[in-house]
Amino acid sequence: MGGRALVQWEHNRDNAPASLTVDLYSGGAAPADVLDEVAFYQVPYAPSTQGADERLDVIARMPSLRVVQLLSAGYEHVLPLLPDHVTLCNGRGLHDASTAEHALALILAAQRDLPRWALDQRDRRWAPRPVSSLADQRVVIVGYGSIGRAVERRLLPFEAEVVRVAGRARPGQDVHGADELHALLPDADVVVLVTPLTEATRGLFGAAEFALLPDGALVVNVGRGPVLDTDALLAQNGRVRAALDVTDPEPLPADHSLWEAPGVLLTPHVAGGSAAFYPRARAFMDIQLARWAAGEELANVVRPGARTER
Amino acid sequence: MGGRALVQWEHNRDNAPASLTVDLYSGGAAPADVLDEVAFYQVPYAPSTQGADERLDVIARMPSLRVVQLLSAGYEHVLPLLPDHVTLCNGRGLHDASTAEHALALILAAQRDLPRWALDQRDRRWAPRPVSSLADQRVVIVGYGSIGRAVERRLLPFEAEVVRVAGRARPGQDVHGADELHALLPDADVVVLVTPLTEATRGLFGAAEFALLPDGALVVNVGRGPVLDTDALLAQNGRVRAALDVTDPEPLPADHSLWEAPGVLLTPHVAGGSAAFYPRARAFMDIQLARWAAGEELANVVRPGARTER
C-alpha cells in the first residue's frame, strides 16, 4: 500500500515492513508536514481523555487517509469524523487480559475485605476477622465474549463455579441466554457484568435483578456504567454488595451518594488500560502494519471504507 | 477403634460411621461427662486464638486419648502437651486454597492500586491513573510445596510467568534450590513467600535479598512473619513494595513503623482462615473419621504415638 503510516510507538515504527514510511505521533500538536500523505493513522491511545481532542480533529487534515486504527474497543464517537472511503478498525481484544484481571482484583478485594484492611492499616489497627472467599462461589458471567472467557479462565483455578450468560443461548457451549438470567440469579454468589453498552444491555441489571440475588451477593461491573442501574443498587443499601470500575454517571461527581453506599467498592475506570494493555497493543500493531503493507485484509475492521469490498 | 470421638462440627458427627460415638465440642467449657472416653480429639479450629486455651488444656483430662487432630498446619505448640502414646495429626493442605487465594488478592491489590482507590473513594475523588498488571510479570514463588503449587495454578491464567524455588533444587520439576535465589531476584517482578518457619527460612528474605530486586518489585508474604526481615523492608523506604498477611512481630503493635511504610500493604493474618477453609476441613474430617473407624492409617500424621508402628 502507498502512503505513510502514522503510529504512536517507536516499537511499531522500528518493526514496520521496510516498504512502509512510518512517522510517530503520540497526541498534542500534529506533525503538519506529513499529514498530506498519511494513509494509515493509528489514533494515539490515551485511556482517560474526554471531550475535544486534537488526536481526532487531525483526521480532517489527512486527504490521503485510507485506514483509521483505534486501540479502544469503543468506536462510535469516531464514525461521524470519517469520510466514507476510510476503513475504521478498533482495538477489540487488546484490553481483554487487562479487564479480566481487574475483574478478578475486584472480586478478590470484595471477598477478602481489602478496603477494610486498607482503612485499618491507616488507623494502625490489627483486628483480624473472618473473610469470605472466591473458592466455592458460583459466579455468573453476563457477557460471554472474549473478555468473559478471559474472566472465566482466571476464575476456574480458584475452585469457583462459572455460569455463562450471553445475549442468546448457545446450548452447545453451555451458554445461557439473557432470557434465563432471572432464573439463575437466586443461586448466584457473584455476578460479573462484562457486556458492551447497547440498547439491549442498558439498564440490564436493575431493581428486578438485584431483588433476585441472595443476601450478600456481589455484583461486579467492568463493562459499561449504564448497564447497571445505579439507583437500584443504592436502594439495596448494602443487602447486595458491588465492586464497580465503571459507573453511571461517569466520572462520578463528588456529591454522588454512590461514594459512600454500604458494601460498594469503586475504582475509577482503570480496568482496561493497565500495563497489560501496552505489549498486547504493540504486538497487534506490528501485525496490522504488516497486513497493511502486504495489502492483506486488516483485522478488527468495524466499518469498511466504501471503496473496499464489503 | 474403640472410644469416643470429639469433633467440632455437626456435619462430621452426622456423617460419621455408625460404629463411632461422636460428641461435639467447639471450644470453651469442655463436656466433662465424656472426656474419660475420648479417644479421637479434633481440637476446635479458631483462627486467631492466642495464649492459654481451654481447647488444649482439656487434653490432660482425656485418659483414653489415642489421636489428636489439629486443623492448623502448625503443631509444635501441642507437642509438649501430648503423652507419648498419642498420635498427632495436623491440617496440612486444608488451608492451601484459602492461602493461595489471598496471595493472589494481595498481588492484584498491589498491582491494581486498590488501597489508593479505597482511600480515594473515602475522599469522594475520581482520579484515574495508570495501574500495573499481573500479566507479563515474572513471579518467583519461594516455597514450592502444596501452597506454592496452588499459587502457581492461580497465577498462570493471568499470563504471568512463574519461577519455582524450594529448599532443594528439583531439576526434573524445574524447581530451583534456595541457593539459586540470589541469581533469580534481579529479574523478579514479584516474589511470593509461602514457606513455613524453620531455622532455614527464618530471615530468608533480608537486606541482601531486597537489594537484588529491581525498583518497584513486590514482595508478598503469606507464609510466616519472621521469614521476612522487617527492618530490611523498612530500610527500602518504598523502593521495593510489599504486601504482607503475616508480620514480625505479630500482631503488629499500633506504634510500629511498618503500618505507614511507603508501598506496604497489610492484612492481619487472614489468608488461611477464609470461608474456603471450612468445606475443605469438613470433608477431610469425614474421611479421617472413616479411616479411624476402620482402623486404617490416618492422614497428616506429624507425630505417631509411641505404641503405633513407625
All domains of chain A in start order, with CATH: 3-94+275-303 (3.40.50.720), 96-266 (3.40.50.720)
B49 touches chain A (CB under 8 A): no
Task: Report the pLDDT value the prediction gives residue A310, as an integer from 0 to 100.
Answer: 38
Specify the range with the lowest mean pLDDT, choosing from B36-50, B116-130, B137-151, B224-238.
B36-50
Mark whether B250 is an active-site residue. Answer: yes
CB contact under 8 A, B254 and A124: yes
User: What is the distance between the alpha carbons of residues A259 and B125, in angstroms, rounded to a whole number?
Assistant: 9
Using the predicted structure, report yes or no on whether residue B294 has a pLDDT greater than 60: yes
Q: According to the model, what pLDDT value does residue A185 have? A: 98
CA distance, residue A87 to nearest chain B CA (Å): 30
The crossing angle, in degrees rounded to 10, of helices B114-122 and B96-111 is: 70
Residue owning grid cell 473515602: B122
Exposure string of A231-262, with b = 16+ CB inside 10 Å and e = fewer, is ebbeebeeebbbbbbbbbebbbeeebebbebe
Q: Which of A234, A258, A266 is nearest to A106 (CA)?
A: A266
Q: Which of B102, B119, B135 sits opposite A118 (nearest CB)?
A: B119
Q: Cβ of B158 and A154 within 8 Å?
A: yes
| In the predicted structure, residue B310 carries a pLDDT above the cut 60 | no
Looking at residue A309, what is its pLDDT? 46
CA–CA separation, A223 and B76 (whole Å): 49
Active site residues of A: 224, 250, 269
Which residues are A170's β-sheet partners? A175
Distance from CA of B105 to the nearest CA of A (A): 5
> Which cell numbers in the block locate residue B37?
472416653
Q: What are the backbone dihedrals phi and psi of residue B43, each rounded to the nearest 5 degrees, phi first?
A: -65, 125
> What chain B residue is nearest to A126 in terms of C-alpha separation?
B268
Reported confidence tier of residue B3, pLDDT bands at 50, 70, 90: confident
pLDDT in the model for residue A74: 83
Euclidean distance between CA atoms B188 and B18, whole angstroms: 54
Mean per-residue pLDDT for B180-202? 96
Find the catalytic residue in B4, B13, B164, B224. B224
Query: Which of these is catalytic: B250, B280, B291, B303?
Result: B250
Contacts of A224 (CB under 8 A, 6+ apart): A195, A196, A197, A201, A246
* Distance set, CA A15 to CA A37, A46, A285 (Å): 20, 22, 10
Q: Is A168 on the interface with B (CB under 8 A)?
A: no
Joined together, the cell numbers standing for residue B23 give 460428641
- Tell me the count of A-B CB pairs closer than 8 A: 182
- Could you tell me which chain B residue has the CA closest to the CA of A249? B126
Number of Cβ within a 10 Å radius of residue B59: 19
Q: Is B129 in the A-facing interface, judged by CB distances under 8 Å? A: yes
Residue A116 CA to chain centroid, in angstroms?
A: 27
- For helices A96-111 and B96-111, the axis angle rounded to 10 degrees is 120
Across the interface, whether the CB atoms of A122 and B119 are under 8 A apart is answered yes
Q: What is the pLDDT of residue A249?
A: 97
Q: Is A257 on the interface with B (CB under 8 A)?
A: no
| Mutation for A interface: B102, B113, B114, most A CBs within 10 A | B114
What's the mean pLDDT in B238-244? 98
Residues within 8 A of B (CB atoms), A 83-122 only:
97-98, 101-102, 104-105, 108-109, 111-115, 117-122
Q: How far apart, in whole angstroms, are the C-alpha atoms of residue B232 and residue B211?
A: 9
Nearest by CB to B153, which of A108, A111, A157? A157
* DSSP letter for each residue of A138-160: EEEEE--SHHHHHHHHHHGGGT-
The DSSP call for residue A3 is S
Give me the pLDDT at residue B50, please. Answer: 53
Burial class of residue B168 in the structure, from the number of CB atoms within 10 Å of its CB (0-12 exposed, 13-18 middle, 19+ buried): exposed
Of the two residues B102 and B53, the one the predictor is more confident about is: B102
Question: Which amino acid does the sequence have at B188?
Answer: A
* Mean pLDDT value across residues B220-231: 97
The edge-to-edge listing of strands for the beta sheet with A21-24 is: A21-24, A4-7, A38-42, A67-69, A87-89, A301-303
DSSP, collapsed to helix, strand or coil, labels residue B100 as: helix
Q: Are B274 and A133 within 8 A, CB to CB?
A: yes
Task: Give the phi and the psi of residue B112 in degrees, each rounded to 5.
Answer: -95, 10
Inter-chain contact A275–B130, Cβ cutoff 8 Å? yes
- Ranges of residues in chain A whose predicted pLDDT is under 70: 1-2, 47-52, 307-310
Could you tell me which residues come within 8 angstroms of residue A74 by beta carbon, excluding any fewer than 6 positions away?
A90
All residues of chain B having their beta carbon less than 8 Å from the beta carbon of residue A158 are 97, 101, 104, 154
Q: Which of A112, A128, A252 sits opposite B48 (nearest CB)?
A: A128
Q: Do B118 and A121 touch (CB under 8 A)?
A: no
A267·B114 Cβ contact <8 A: yes
Give the phi and the psi of residue A166 in degrees, each rounded to 5.
-135, 180
In degrees to the nearest 10, what's the CA dihedral of B270, B272, B274, B280? -170
Q: What is the DSSP string of A84-121?
A: TT-EEE--TTTTHHHHHHHHHHHHHHHHTTHHHHHHHH
Residue of A79, A87, A53, A50 whose CA lies nearest to A297: A87
